[in-house]
A and B are shown apart, each in its own frame.
Chain A
Amino acid sequence: MDTKGFYYDIIIAGFGGQGVLAIGNLLAYAAMKEGRQVTFLPTYGVEMRGGTANCTVVISSKEIGSPIVQRPHAVISMNLPSLLKYGIRVLPKGLLMVNSSLIDLKEVSRKDIELLAIPVNDIANQNGNPKLANMIALGAFIEKTKWVTFSSVFESLEKVFDERHHGLIPSNIKAIQIGAEYVKSLL
C-alpha cells in the first residue's frame, strides 16, 4: 500500500437526515489522517431539505483532480431513490452496499457487481438507537473494504462532530463496531 499508487472513490446517497454526509466526512477525515489525499464533495442547498442527499469521497495516493465521479468503485445506498440513481453507476466488479431495511433486494438488477446488503435501520433499532443507522453502515463498509482503519475513524469523530455533540461519540463508536461485527458474521 505504501509504495503502490492507489485510487478509490465512493458515492454515499440517501435522503436528507439519514446522515450520509457524516459517513462521507468521517471516511474522508480518517483517510486524511492516514496520510492520503482526499476530496469530499457534498450536494447542498435545496436537495438537503428532505430530498436526496449525497456526497462523493475520493481517496488517492496522489493529488486528486476531479472531485466529481461518474462511475464510482463503490456506492452506499441508504434508500430506494438513491439506489435507482446511483446503483447503475457502480463500476463493473465494484461494490454496491444497500440498506436492506428500506430497499427490497429485488430492486437490485445488476449482476456484474458485488452486492452487500445490510439492514442498517433494523440493526440500529435492535441496538436501541435508530439514529445511528448511518454509523452501522459506516462500520460495515470499513470492515468490508478496509480503506481506513477503525482507530482513524474513531479519532476523526471528535474532528467531524461539533463539540456540543462530543458526548455522543461513545455511542457512535459502538454503532460502528456493531456494523463491522455484522459484516464479519456474514463470512
Chain B
Amino acid sequence: MSQNIEKILVRGNEAVAMGAIDAGCLLFFGYPITPQNEIPEYLSKHLPPLGGEFIQAESEIASINLLLGASATGARAMSSSSSPGISLMQEGLSYMAGSELPVVIVNISRSGPGLGGISASQGDYFQATRGGGHGDYRMIVLAPSTVQEMYNLTCLAFDLADKYRNPAMVLGDALIGQMKEPLTRQKAEKMDLPPKDWALTGARGRKPNKIKSLYLQEGELTEHNWKLYQKYERMKKEEVRFEMVNAEDARLIIVAFGSMARVSKTAMEMAREEGMKVGLFRPITLFPYPEKGLYDISKQVKQFLTVELNTGQMVEDVKLSVDRDAEVHFYGKPPGALPPPEEILEQIRKYYR
C-alpha cells in the first residue's frame, strides 16, 4: 500500500502539521516562535478549508488555556511552540494533567536558558520528562528522529493522549524540525479508544460532567493522585518504545534520542568500519522511559556512552536503568554547535575496550 503513495520531501515541522491533520486534529492555538513556525504556518493555511480553526493567540499563556478549553469539549486539539514558549505553558500543562485532558503539545526546542538562541538543543529533556509544571504529574513524551517519525509520532501522540486522558508531548529540536526528508503520508490505523463520555458537550438529558483539578474534600485529592499514578504505571507497562541497532555483538552501546540518535547512528557505522563492535539504543518514548530495555541489554553489554545536545540530562535515566556493574559515560554539547559524527566517533574510541 505504502508503495502507491508518492513520497514528498518536507521539513520535519511540516510533517508534524500533516500528522496532526491526519490524526483528525482540527483545532490549533499558538503563538509564533522560531524554529517551529512552519507548524502554525502550515496549519493556518490548511485547517480553515477543512472546517477547522487556527487561532494565533496573544501569548503562549492564552494559547495553552484555549487548548485546555478546546480539549475539555472532547475535540482533538494541539499547540506547538519552542522552549521559552513551552516554559510559559507549564502552568496550563499541569492543570491539564490534573484535569486529565488529552492534548498534544509539540516542543521544537531551541537553546536556552532564557531566550537563548534558535539553534538545536536537547536542553528541555528534564522539563519534558520531569513535569515542568507543578505537582506530581507525568506527560507522555515522544522523541522523533526522522521526518517520517515527526509525522507518525504526532499521530500516535493524539491516540495516546486520548487513551490515557493525559497531555502528550512531541519533543523535537531545530535540527529535526528544519531538515527535509522523504515522507510517506499514510494514516496509521486508529487505536481502539475509550469514548469521551467525560467531555463537556452540553448536559441535556444526562448528568453534568465536571472538568477540574481542584479537590478539597478530605481524601479526595489523595485518591485522585493515586488514580493518576496508576495511569502513569500503566503507560510504563504498555507504551514504552525504543529502537535498538547492532546490539547482539556490541561491546559498547550509544544511548541517544532524537537528532543526536541519528548523528550517533552514523558514528556507530564509522566505528563498525574500524572494527569496533558498537550498537545504538534509541529511546522513542522519553516518558515512559525504556528502563527495562536498557537494563536487559546491560546484562550483556557493560559500556554505555550517552550522547546528548546538552550537558547531561537523559544520562541520569540511563544510569538509573542499567545493571549496577555497567559503566555509563557521557558526551554532551551545550547548544550552539552540532557535533558531526566524527566527534562522537572520537568519544567511542576513548571508551571502547
Binding site for B on A (CB under 8 A): 25, 28-29, 32, 37-42, 44-46, 64-71, 159
* Segment 322-349 of B: residues with Cβ below 8 Å from A: 338-342
Inter-chain CA distance A160–B264, complex, in Å, is 30
Inter-chain CA distance A37–B182, complex, in Å, is 8
B22 contacts A by Cβ under 8 Å: no
Q: Is the CB of A67 within 8 A of B9?
A: no
The smallest beta-carbon distance between B150 and chain A, in angstroms, is 13
Inter-chain CA distance A69–B262, complex, in Å, is 12
* Segment 26-53 of B: residues with Cβ below 8 Å from A: 34-35
Q: Is the CB of A39 within 8 A of B179?
A: yes
Known: A41-B175, A46-B118. A67 touches B7 (CB 8 A): no
Q: For residue B342, which residues in chain A have a CB less than 8 angstroms away from its CB? A: 70-71
Q: For residue B179, which residues in chain A have a CB less than 8 angstroms away from its CB? A: 39-42, 67
Q: For residue A29, which residues in chain B have a CB less than 8 angstroms away from its CB? A: 9
The smallest beta-carbon distance between B261 and chain A, in angstroms, is 9
Inter-chain CA distance A46–B174, complex, in Å, is 14
Set A32, A41, A44, A66: member contacting B266, Cβ < 8 A: A66
Q: Is the CB of A28 within 8 A of B265?
A: no
Inter-chain CA distance A68–B340, complex, in Å, is 6
B178 contacts A by Cβ under 8 Å: yes
The smallest beta-carbon distance between A44 and chain B, in angstroms, is 5
Nearest residue, chain A, Cβ from B343: A70
Q: For residue B181, which residues in chain A have a CB less than 8 angstroms away from its CB? A: 38-40, 64
Known: A38-B9, A42-B178, A45-B34. A65 touches B118 (CB 8 A): no
Q: For residue A65, which residues in chain B have a CB less than 8 angstroms away from its CB? A: 262-269, 341
Binding site for A on B (CB under 8 A): 7-9, 34-35, 118, 174-175, 178-182, 262-269, 338-342
Inter-chain CA distance A42–B178, complex, in Å, is 7
Q: For residue A69, which residues in chain B have a CB less than 8 angstroms away from its CB? A: 340
Q: For residue A46, which residues in chain B have a CB less than 8 angstroms away from its CB? A: 118
Nearest residue, chain B, Cβ from A57: B180
Q: For residue B269, which residues in chain A have a CB less than 8 angstroms away from its CB? A: 65
Inter-chain CA distance A105–B180, complex, in Å, is 33
Set B9, B180, B263: member contacting A66, Cβ < 8 A: B263
Nearest residue, chain B, Cβ from A42: B178
Inter-chain CA distance A69–B341, complex, in Å, is 8
Nearest residue, chain A, Cβ from B183: A32
With a 10 A CB-CB cut-off, give which of A38, A39, A69, A71 has the most chain B CB atoms.
Answer: A39
Known: A41-B180, A67-B179, A68-B263. 16 other contacts (CB 8 A): A32-B182, A39-B181, A40-B9, A40-B180, A40-B181, A42-B179, A44-B35, A45-B35, A45-B118, A46-B118, A65-B264, A65-B267, A65-B341, A66-B340, A66-B341, A68-B340
The smallest beta-carbon distance between A146 and chain B, in angstroms, is 20
Inter-chain CA distance A77–B205, complex, in Å, is 71
Inter-chain CA distance A29–B7, complex, in Å, is 10
Q: For residue A39, which residues in chain B have a CB less than 8 angstroms away from its CB? A: 179-181
The 4 closest A-B pairs by CB, nearest first: A65-B266, A65-B265, A70-B340, A66-B266
With a 10 A CB-CB cut-off, give which of B7, B178, B180, B265 has the most chain A CB atoms.
Answer: B180
Q: What are 23 A-B contacts with C-beta separation under 8 Å?
A: A28-B180, A32-B9, A39-B181, A40-B181, A41-B179, A42-B178, A44-B34, A45-B34, A45-B35, A64-B181, A65-B262, A65-B263, A65-B264, A65-B266, A66-B263, A66-B265, A66-B267, A68-B339, A68-B341, A69-B340, A70-B342, A71-B342, A159-B9
The smallest beta-carbon distance between A76 and chain B, in angstroms, is 18
The smallest beta-carbon distance between B262 and chain A, in angstroms, is 5
Q: For residue B180, which residues in chain A have a CB less than 8 angstroms away from its CB? A: 25, 28, 39-42
The smallest beta-carbon distance between B18 and chain A, in angstroms, is 15
Inter-chain CA distance A69–B270, complex, in Å, is 13
Q: For residue A41, which residues in chain B have a CB less than 8 angstroms away from its CB? A: 175, 178-180
Q: For residue A25, which residues in chain B have a CB less than 8 angstroms away from its CB? A: 9, 180
Inter-chain CA distance A67–B259, complex, in Å, is 9
Q: Is the CB of A68 within 8 A of B338?
A: yes
Inter-chain CA distance A71–B8, complex, in Å, is 28
With a 10 A CB-CB cut-off, give which of B8, B181, B263 has the most chain A CB atoms.
Answer: B181
